[in-house]
Chain A
Amino acid sequence: MSLNIVEKILKEHLVHGELEKQKTIGIKINQTLTQDATGTMTYLEFEALKLETVETELSVSYVDHNTLQEGFENADDHLYLQSIARKYGILYSKAGNGICHQVHLERFGMPGKTLLGSDSHTPTAGGIGMLGIGAGGLDVALAMAGEPFYLIYPKIMRINLIGRLPSWVCAKDIILKILQILTTKGNVSWAIEYGGDGILDLDVPERSTITNMGAELGVTSSIFPSDERTLEFLKAQGREEDFIELKPDLGAEYDKVIDIDLSKLEPLAAAPHSPDNIVPVKDLRDIDVNQVCIGSCTNSSFKDLMKVAYILKDRKVNPGVSLVISPGSRQVFINLLKYNAVETFLKAGARIGESVCGFCIGSGMAPGTDGVSLRTINRNFEGRSGTRSARVYLVSPEVAACSAVTGRITDPGEFGLSYPQIQMPDKFFTDDSMILMPEDISERKKVTIYRGPNIGNPPENYPLPAQFKAEVSIKLGDKITTDHIMPAGSRLKYRSNIEKYSQFVFESIDPEFYKRCLKNKKDNVANIIVAGESYGQGSSREHAAICPMFLGVKAVIVKSIERIHAGNLINFGILPLKFENAEDYEKLKKADILNFENLKEALIHEKPLKIHNKTQDYYFNALYDLTSRQINIILAGGMLNLIAEGSF
């Protein structure tokens, strides 16, 4: 039978269930990655499993998120992660070695394998023909323990990229176009497979720009075939032995097919404040720019930054603009040095950032009041840059660099340069000395784990009561992101101290939220979050579930919910519920008291929940889409309890 690429990989890795659309399956995970922001919790959870070593083929712990180190907390976390890695057989990529997805692509990604990462942009690995999936830290901890990863067998979309890109149009514009077509909504439980003759013009890092922002579409994963371009990249990395060819069989089936004629594309931008708010760059020209940030796991490869160097060569950054360039990895940085690109950047007047996530996660480089910031990153949610009133546009490195020179948003086709033909080197300079190897297995027991004062324990939860009283502690609108739920930026340093971090849940919307919750928790009243469409979109940030759990949230009731976040809620014993009738969303008011009656029985029999609104005195139905396995997790009060019970 003809199989597509996703089917081929899933079939080969299937451990539980059957390959039937929209059913839950368990797959074997070959590799895992963590970054420090979600990593500390992941490893706290891994510790709780009391194993001696990871059971994967490869697990890598990266430090790329919290590197500002304004206090002791970040540094303590790094030391904790480093000691954990040594003890449990994990590779440790030190701060400064690069952004996890870029480094993983360069040094570890393998076509045909599975990668689970505690970061929503893990599908970046799809550029190399690897099935990369973002998940909560707990799922990653379990994968490191050799447990299968459970997911809904996705519907598979084929996107054919046909023809050739015009000059000054690049991979970023392709994914922005796809975001315009598919939007950030309604793509949950889909996987995207790319093909068409146009992909031969895209090298692996360019393909990764496209799969990276599949996260913004909300799809489970995105993947390219493994072909001669993949081999070329692996050769340049000195890893050609990791190559296998991986292509769909002719005539393979897909649930949807989209053709994109590359010759018709033009430079695009995602205007504030959503990655799917797509506008042609030429329609934005003459908007003054205050800041330009080039970097992130989306656009910071060697080729991206060589194009930037070509544009900046013998030119100056406009006096009104602050330009920051962060190479995606130490490898990219060193190779740029060899090609004199860094000198060009400095002479042009750019600021050079570390090879970390930095501005992309709101860690530093906040724009000024009402500032216009052009960024090559993947998200422009309101406030994510650190400045509430800033207007962030997502663009290609080409648009970013040209605009940095002119001081206005500029279509590079009108910049007056011919389009550069930049090729990847036949061989990159590579040096893995900042990736630390774990202790030899016989020596691991001797390693003591470093715990600074800010490293707490995973918070406890209690099993779900059969019935309980609750209050609507907050009522929210559509598109509430994980950034809204759990702000990163300067608050992120508290992430390993749940009690403290929980004070910032919904900080930007309702700073009093946590106080109300804690009072209810003391009074034995559960907290309920009510929201509209696409609740929890954004990242895999597990804290967006852990902290609400700590605050005593027992359920969220929404119109629709994003996949990763729903998975996280379940893992921490919070019920993800959907209104049966959308009107009930309108009816429900903040501070309404709700009674959850016969909860356990309804869940066990997989019936809709009948909830009593005591304040307004009416009943309404809430639906849920849970497997029996997930119901067990909820009833136990979360995965950790279930594991602790030994019934997992």
Chain B
Amino acid sequence: MISFQKVTIPADGEKIEVKDEKLIVPDFPIVLFIEGDGIGPDIWKASKEIFNEAVKVVFSDKKKVKWTEIFAGEKALKNYGEGNLLPDETIEAIKNFKVAIKGPLTTPVGKGFRSLNVTLRQKLDLYACIRPCRWLKGTPSPVKAPEKLDVIVFRENTEDVYAGIEWHYNSEEVKELKKFLKEKYNVLLGPETGIGIKPISRFCSRRLVRKALKYALTHNKGKITLVHKGNIMKYTEGAFREWGYELAGEELQGRLILEEELNAKYDGKIPEGRILINDRIADSMFQQILLRPDEYDILATTNLNGDYLSDACAAQVGGLGMAPGANISDDIFIFEATHGTAPKYANLNKVNPGSLILSGVMMFQYMGWNEVADIIYKSLEDTVQEKTVTYDLARMIEGAKEVSTCEFAGNIIKNIKRRAG
């Protein structure tokens, strides 16, 4: 076992292993957590109590999560000193223990700082961002029938315009690039023009689509949609579409069905054991999730599309306060709140822990502790339906009573106990 400076590994904890991209979970698994900045400590405290209670009612004391704190953001600075926003030890611990859950992290303002979230993704090659968007009963939503949307967005995490290959309009690099483009390809760019580069590769596109396809296959999801803007950006977004279909053909041929065939031969009903694969141009996709939300299961897309789309889907079922997420590679799984640090509410015991709780639900599902996941989800749903909720939901739900983060968590725990009988 590796020795750590500031991380305390529970002596009675057991390591989660990963085989074939699946978690093999012992009875007393070590699960890492990063509290996060701003409101992070508030929501983590609430969530952890809920998680522990749910595990306890399901497994008595036969199984237990061995929470292990690792540090990033401000708490890392405190523990490791100046400049240590993301200590090597944190990365090492994640590589070693595979599963982590984290609160929001602040990205320091100023030149030269990259977002901690992006750094984590790049250092650990967390190439797939997974964002389930499903309406939790009782949550206020801007649409008439939010229950019709139940999708999971698989967003490519490592390339596209987010890869950070871009230069200031006044930089030397831009001057050189403009010269190169003019001389080599007769492409003329106007004055004061910033330049960014959009790389989309076969390798990254394929592994993201593979992840989505595997998910569809193992979770009995019947439809997968490649979302792209390939009509305009043929060699990046268009290529993503092409490679997506290519991969599907190579790995799932025989289990696939195309839209044309589905309508002509099966009257729109997907035959048992097969997966519909189609594609949508991104702008049309945004219309579709509003107009025909129940026609979609899994959306696999490039980074920028995925960024917009996952937030739009989340908004449709009640907003980021209740939207879980995960960033994963083939053997590392980080579950995280999708919202920011909201520093003005820090330590006020006020905000909604829903996003982190639901990320925990997702984590328990990946761990195969489905009963735990279920009881948390249902108890959260009960609590929202009882209309005793945090301020953000209370102001949107008629007749709701505003409660603190702690009280909200306490109500969820009450419901967990009630459900467990």
Chain B residue nearest in CB terms to A199: B250
Question: Which residues of A sit under 8 angstroms from B251, Cβ to Cβ?
Answer: 160, 162, 196-197
A258 to chain B: closest residue by CB: B254
Instruction: Say whether A251 contacts B250, CB under 8 Å.
Output: no
Q: Does B258 contact A (CB under 8 A)?
A: yes
Whether B264 sits at the interface, judged by CB under 8 Å, is yes
Min Cβ gap A165→B in Å is 16
Complex contacts, A624 vs chain B, CB 8 Å: none
- Whether B245 is near chain A, meaning CB under 8 Å from some CB there, is yes
| B345 CB to nearest A CB, Å | 48
Verify A160–B249 contact, CB threshold 8 A.
Answer: no
CB-based nearest A residue for B258: A251
Docked CA distance A162–B217 (Å): 15
Q: Which B residues are in CB contact (< 8 Å) with A162?
A: 251
Q: How far is the CB of B20 from chain A (nearest CB, A)?
A: 8
Beta-carbon contact of B258 and A257 below 8 Å: no
Whether A254 is near chain B, meaning CB under 8 Å from some CB there, is yes
B256 sits at the interface (CB 8 A)? yes
Structural contact, B264 and A257, CB atoms closer than 8 A: no
> Are B258 and A250 in touch, CB under 8 angstroms?
yes
**Shortest beta-carbon distance from B171 to chain A in Å:** 41
B278 smallest CB distance to A (angstroms): 10
CA distance A197 to B203 in the complex (A): 13
> Closest chain B residue to A256 by CB distance?
B254
Q: Which of B249, B253, B258, B277 has the most CB of A within 10 A?
A: B253
Kindly state the separation between the CA atoms of A212 and B254 in the bound complex, as whole angstroms. Answer: 23
Q: Residue-by-residue, is A234-275 near B (CB-CB < 8 Å gives 1, otherwise 0)?
A: 000000000000001011111011000000000000000000
Q: Are A250 and B253 in touch, CB under 8 angstroms?
A: yes
- For B247, list chain A residues within 8 Å (CB): 197
Tell me whether A423 is interfacial, beta carbon within 8 Å. Answer: no
Q: Determine the main DSSP class of A at the interface with B.
A: loop
Q: Which residues of A contact B252 (CB under 8 A)?
A: 160
**Residue A155 interfacial (CB < 8 Å):** no
A2 and B250 in contact, given A250-B245, A251-B277 (Cβ under 8 angstroms): no
Within the complex, the shortest CB–CB distance from B322 to chain A, in Å, comes to 36
What residues of A have a CB within 8 angstroms of the CB of B221 in the complex?
A: none
How would residues 228 to 246 of chain B score, 1 for a CB under 8 Å from any chain A CB and 0 otherwise? 0000000000000000010
Let me know if A195 and B257 touch, CB within 8 A: no
Q: Is the CB of A196 within 8 A of B250?
A: yes
Give the distance to chain B from A201, nearest Cβ to Cβ, in Å: 12
Closest Cβ neighbor of B255 among chain A residues: A257
Cα of A162 to Cα of B202 in the assembled complex, Å: 17
B16 within 8 Å of A (CB atoms):
no
**In the complex, which residues 190-205 of chain A have their Cβ closer than 8 Å to any Cβ of chain B?**
195-197
Q: Are A2 and B254 in contact (CB under 8 A)?
A: no
A158 at the binding interface (Cβ < 8 Å):
yes
Inter-subunit contact B254/A1 (CB<8 Å): no
Question: How many whole Å from B184's CB to the nearest CB in chain A?
Answer: 31
- Contact residues on B (Cβ < 8 Å of other chain), bracket: 10 to 19
Chain B contacts with A in 250-298, Cβ cutoff 8 A? 250-258, 261, 264-265, 277
The residue among A248, A252, A256 with the most chain B CB atoms within 10 A of its own CB is: A252
Q: Pick from B248, B255, B258: contact of A2, CB below 8 A.
A: B258
Question: Is A158's CB under 8 angstroms from B264's CB?
Answer: no
How many Å from the CB of A538 to the closest CB on chain B?
29
Does the CB pair A1–B250 fall under 8 Å?
A: no
Write the chain B residue with the least CB distance to A263: B20
Please name all residues of chain A whose beta carbon is closer than 8 Å to the beta carbon of B250 when the two chains form the complex. Answer: 160, 195-197
Identity of the chain A residue whose Cβ is nearest the Cβ of B20 in the assembled complex: A261
- Asked if A250 and B256 sit within 8 Å, CB to CB, the answer is yes
Contact assessment for B254 and A160 in the assembled complex, using a CB-CB cutoff below 8 Å = yes
Q: Which residue of A has the minimal Cβ distance to B265? A: A1
The answer to whether A195 and B264 touch across the interface, beta carbons within 8 angstroms, is no
Minimal beta-carbon separation of B330 from chain A (angstroms) = 13
* Contact present for B264 and A252 (CB under 8 Å): no
Chain A: minimal CB distance from B127 (Å): 18
Residues of chain B lying within 8 A (CB to CB) of residue A2 = 258, 261
Name the one of A1, A252, A256 contacting B253, with C-beta atoms under 8 angstroms: A252
Q: Which residues of B contact A252 (CB under 8 A)?
A: 253-254
Q: How large is the interface on A (under 10, 10 to 19, 20 to 34, 35 or more residues)?
A: 10 to 19
Contact B249 A250 (CB under 8 A): yes
Which residues of A in the span 142-195 have a Cβ within 8 Å of any Cβ on B?
158, 160, 162, 195
Q: Are B256 and A251 in contact (CB under 8 A)?
A: yes
> In the complex, which of the residues B245, B253, B261, B277 contacts A248, with contact meaning CB atoms closer than 8 Å?
B253
Q: Which residues of chain A are near B261, meaning CB under 8 Å?
A: 1-2, 251
What is the CB-to-nearest-CB distance from B246 to chain A, in angstroms, rounded to a whole number? 9
Contact of A158 among B245, B248, B253, B258 (CB under 8 A): B253
A195 to B248, CA, bound (A): 11
Q: In the complex, how many angstroms separate the beta carbon of B187 from the nearest chain A beta carbon?
A: 33
Cα A197 to Cα B252 with chains together (Å): 10
- A1: chain B residues at CB < 8 Å are 261, 264-265
Instruction: For the complex, give the distance between the alpha carbons of A493 and B248 in Å.
Output: 52
With contacts A1-B261, A1-B264, A2-B261 taken as known, whether A254 is within 8 angstroms of B254 at the C-beta atoms is yes
On chain A, the residues within 8 Å of B245 by CB distance are 250
**Cα distance, A158 to B254, chains bound together (Å):** 6
Closest B-chain residue to A255, C-beta based?
A: B254
A257 touches B248 (CB 8 A): no
Chain B residue nearest to A162 (CB atoms) is: B251
The residues of A that contact B256 with a CB separation of less than 8 Å are: 250-251
Bound together, the chains give a CA A346 to CA B342 distance in angstroms of: 79
- Nearest residue in A to B246 (C-beta to C-beta)? A250
Q: Which residues does chain B contribute within 8 Å of A197, judged by CB atoms?
A: 247, 250-251
Residues of B contacting A160 in the complex (Cβ-Cβ under 8 angstroms): 250-254
User: For B253, what are the chain A residues with a Cβ–Cβ distance below 8 Å?
Assistant: 158, 160, 195-196, 248, 250, 252, 254, 257
Q: How far is the CA of A257 from the CA of B249 in the complex (A)?
A: 13
| Distance of A537 Cα from B30 Cα, bound (Å) | 56
Q: How far is the CB of B402 from chain A (nearest CB, A)?
A: 52
- Chain B's nearest CB lies how many Å from the CB of A100? 31
CA distance A256 to B254 in the complex (A): 8
Nearest CB in chain B: distance from A229 CB, A:
14
Task: Give the distance to chain A from B285, nearest Cβ to Cβ, in Å.
Answer: 20
- B contact residues around A195 at 8 Å (CB): 249-250, 253-254
Closest to A195 in B: B253
In angstroms, Cα B246 to Cα A195, docked, is 12
Q: How far is the CA of A1 from the CA of B258 in the complex (A)?
A: 9
Q: Are B257 and A251 in contact (CB under 8 A)?
A: yes
Residues from chain A with a CB closer than 8 A to the CB of B258 are 2, 250-251
CA of A111 to CA of B111, assembled, Å: 60
Among residues of B, the one whose C-beta sits closest to the C-beta of A157 is: B254
Q: Least Cβ distance of A263 to chain B in Å?
A: 9
**In the complex, what distance in Å separates the CA atom of A527 from the CA atom of B376?**
74
Q: How far is the CB of B393 from chain A (nearest CB, A)?
A: 43
CB contacts (< 8 Å) of B277 on chain A: these are 250-251
- Measured in the bound complex, the distance between the Cα atoms of B255 and A2 in whole Å is 13
- Docked Cα-Cα span, A251 to B264, in Å, equals 13
Chain B residues near A196: list those with CB within 8 A.
Answer: 250-251, 253
Determine the chain A residues whose CB is within 8 A of the CB of B265 once the complex forms.
1
Tell me the A1-20 residues at the B interface (CB within 8 Å): 1-2
- Select from chain B the residue with minimum beta-carbon distance to A159: B254
Residues of A within 8 A of B264 (CB): 1
A315 smallest CB distance to B (angstroms): 37
Most buried by A among B248, B257, B264, B277: B257
Whole-angstrom distance from the CB of B259 to the nearest CB of chain A?
9
* Cβ contacts A to B, 18 pairs, < 8 Å: A1-B261, A1-B265, A2-B258, A2-B261, A195-B249, A195-B250, A195-B253, A195-B254, A248-B253, A250-B249, A250-B253, A250-B256, A250-B277, A251-B256, A251-B257, A251-B261, A257-B253, A257-B254
List of 5 A-B pairs having minimum Cβ-Cβ separation, nearest first:
A158-B254, A257-B254, A251-B258, A254-B254, A197-B250
Query: A residues engaging B (CB < 8 A)?
Result: 1-2, 158, 160, 162, 195-197, 248, 250-254, 256-257
Q: A195-B253, A250-B258, A253-B254 are in contact. List 17 more A-B contacts (CB 8 A).
A: A1-B265, A158-B253, A160-B251, A160-B253, A162-B251, A195-B249, A196-B250, A197-B247, A197-B250, A197-B251, A250-B253, A250-B277, A251-B256, A251-B257, A253-B257, A257-B253, A257-B255
